[in-house]
Structure 1
């Protein structure tokens, strides 16, 4: 398992389109992807990153920190793709 911590750059956070992109990428990777929001230095309970609804329930806004955990055969490639989505300004 590998993970990264990053700041969400999209103006809408991980809502609607960015959440759908994240979940779609996670689901198609074949890896297990878990997403957590960091609030006041505390990491929330992780949710299934392949579920757009679960991703949206975290309420991640622009500037929020998240932790993404990836486990599976293509975890390095998957992590890179998800990091690009999280850190991208345009969606």
Structure 2
């Protein structure tokens, strides 16, 4: 079972840019080129993951949610973390990650 079938791939696409932003904030302001390089690396990895997602997507069943995951988030208020990809959201994910690069 791959990362996308288990739900980890989509979560990486969602949270990897946030991790990248925190790493860029940790780089000293005087090292602007390093900041740009780190941001570019995180953007390229996120875009690469979205390309892998598009390749593994089953286009014959595009009306169904694929690579979905649902986890309990904050049990005290009954909040869940639920993500998945369907035929409409797939090109939007790829486009969003491409624009980031």
Same fold? TM cut 0.5: no
Rg: which structure is higher? 2
Q: Which structure has the highest helix share of the two?
A: 2
Normalising by structure 1, we get a TM-score of 0.29
User: Which structure's residues are more often strand, by fraction?
Assistant: 1
Higher relative contact order (CA 8 A, sep 6+): 1
TM-score normalised by L of structure 2: 0.27
